[in-house]
Structure 1
């Protein structure tokens, strides 16, 4: 199984409203997939998600379509930094572990 952990640091607190709007649509999309588990949390300008997938194919099908793809294309207008890491595991980690793992993640700076 595949776990993906993502963090997004917004350019400013007012970007939260645009992020929330996009997240609402992404969550609807996610509910219609084969995602096995999901956690999310965020505060101020830093937000996190993690998902568990049966296969990399399921993960990529979600990530590269619909609301999620649209959000990725628009991320430059919202984010100062995005971090993401995907790895093999049978369950989602706890948040402290996830934050440590994100220090080794792929980073995109805008």
Structure 2
């Protein structure tokens, strides 16, 4: 199994509507995909967001990422964030948010 973790830092609070619009649509796309499970958490100030998804293999991740709303969100991501980072970890299940956030601590 593969855990995919993404950190998204919004450029400003004015970009939250665009982010939430895509985020809701991507969650709907996840529900229709082969994703085993997903979760999302925001920082206390709502400018930094983390997503975590669990997949059987790389092919399933890539099929999801390169299609539909997620593909469109990636194309337009520069409008609401200039700092998006992702990590993929081999693991049988989700890790804690605390552990996940450490993956981005040095960046």
Correspondence 1:27-46 to 2 at 5 A: 27-43=27-43, 44-46=46-48
**Greater strand share, 1 or 2?**
1
Q: In 1, Cα distance between the equivalents of 2:9 and 2:22?
A: 15
- Secondary structure (helix, strand or coil) at the match of 2:103 reads helix
Q: TM-score, normalised by structure 2?
A: 0.93
TM-score (norm 1): 0.90
Shift of 1:80: 2.5
User: Which of 51, 54, 58 is matched with 1:52 structurally?
Assistant: 54
SS in 2 for 1:87: strand
CA RMSD of aligned residues (A): 1.2
Distance 2:104 2:3 in 1: 12
Once the two structures are superposed, the pairs formed by residues 1-110 of structure 1 within 5 Å of their partners are: 1-43=1-43, 44-103=46-105
Output the CA distance in 2 between the equivalents of 1:8 and 1:92. Answer: 19
Runs of 4+ in 1 over 3 A off after TM superposition: none
Task: Structure 2: state its 5+ residue gaps.
Answer: none
- For each residue in 1:52-100, what CA deviation from the matched residue of structure 2 results, as whole angstroms up to 9, or x when unmatched? 0011111110011000000001011110311100121101110000000
Aligned length: 105
